[in-house]
Amino acid sequence: MSLALRDGVLRAEGIAVREWTQNAKLLTRLIPGIDAFDSSAVRLPDEVLLEQITAVLVPPDGISLALQEGVLDIEGEAPNLWLASVRSKLAAFSDLREIRSHQTKPVELEQIRIIQDELQGTKVFFGRGGTNLEDQTPNLNKVLSLINQLDPLYHELGEKFLVQIKGFTDGTGNMMLNQELAKQRAEAIQQWLVNKGVKSHLLETIPDISAAWNQDNGGTLEEMRRAEFSVKSNLDFPAKATPDAG
């Protein structure tokens, strides 16, 4: 702390706690020759420490830092890699008493949620009694792109996921044949994705021959000859509502 007296004004510059500044203002009133006390250049220890912490962490957009009495509060969304590095980066700050980051979450979570919602809303359709995918290339390419986006995001969080491919039939005809057809439709998509580079362990096929969608919701037979997609993981995402299939 440095003090300078000029024209009756005592100017203080440096780092001090708030109580010191308040006491200094009171004491200078008792000293002859001092008309005023200027503390505009006095900075709080937390203010200086927060600047140092900010310079080390370089918080991304979406993150706010607040420091009070040596307790650092971190709030907002950031890449998981950044969040995981905070404590190690701040280990050398001996004046930092506590780090509270319970109000943070990885940005990857929301990115995953958006992609999964889009994937679960995508369908691939088939002709009557068939498993041909030739006219479904745009939808398949969309599914491929979404899975390829999910893979690195889950990897960043250290989590695993599984894409379920559910094959359906229109519910007409022999039940056993429909069961096999639904299975073949799901497997046809699985093979297409594997051929495009998707790891096979990320995919699971499920046949479904229930006819509830058509009977209860007015779906056409063409709409029922389809495949749908869902994602299983340990992340807590509410399932997107879809009509029961037939």
Angstrom distance (rounded) from CA 126 to CA 116: 23
Q: What is the pLDDT, as a whole number, of residue 211?
A: 56
Q: What is the pLDDT, as a whole number, of residue 236?
A: 64
CATH homologous superfamily, domain 109-233: OmpA-like domain (3.30.1330.60)
What letter represents residue 125's amino acid? F
Angstrom distance (rounded) from CA 185 to CA 225: 9
Task: Tabulate helix, strand, coil % of the chain (nearest 5).
Answer: 45, 30, 30
Q: What angle do CA 203, 207, 211 make, to 5 degrees?
A: 140
Q: What is the pLDDT, as a whole number, of residue 245?
A: 40
Query: Within a 13 Å sphere around the CA of 63, how many CA atoms are in the beta-carbon half?
Result: 23
Q: What is the pLDDT, as a whole number, of residue 216?
A: 53
Please report, for residues 58, 113, 210, 213, 223, the alpha-carbon distance to residue 216 in angstroms, rounded to integers and kept in the order given: 55, 29, 11, 5, 14
Is 70 buried (19+), middle (13-18) or exposed (0-12) by CB count in 10 A?
Answer: middle
pTM exceeds 0.85, yes or no: no
> From first to last of its 246 residues, what are the pLDDT tens digits of the chain?
899 999 999 999 998 888 888 999 899 888 998 999 999 988 888 999 999 999 999 999 999 999 999 999 999 999 999 999 999 999 999 999 999 998 899 999 999 999 999 999 999 999 998 999 989 999 999 999 999 999 999 999 999 999 999 999 887 888 889 899 999 999 999 999 999 999 999 999 999 877 545 555 556 888 888 999 999 998 865 444 444 444
What letter represents residue 35's amino acid? D
CA-based nearest residue to 109, from 99, 97, 101, 117: 117
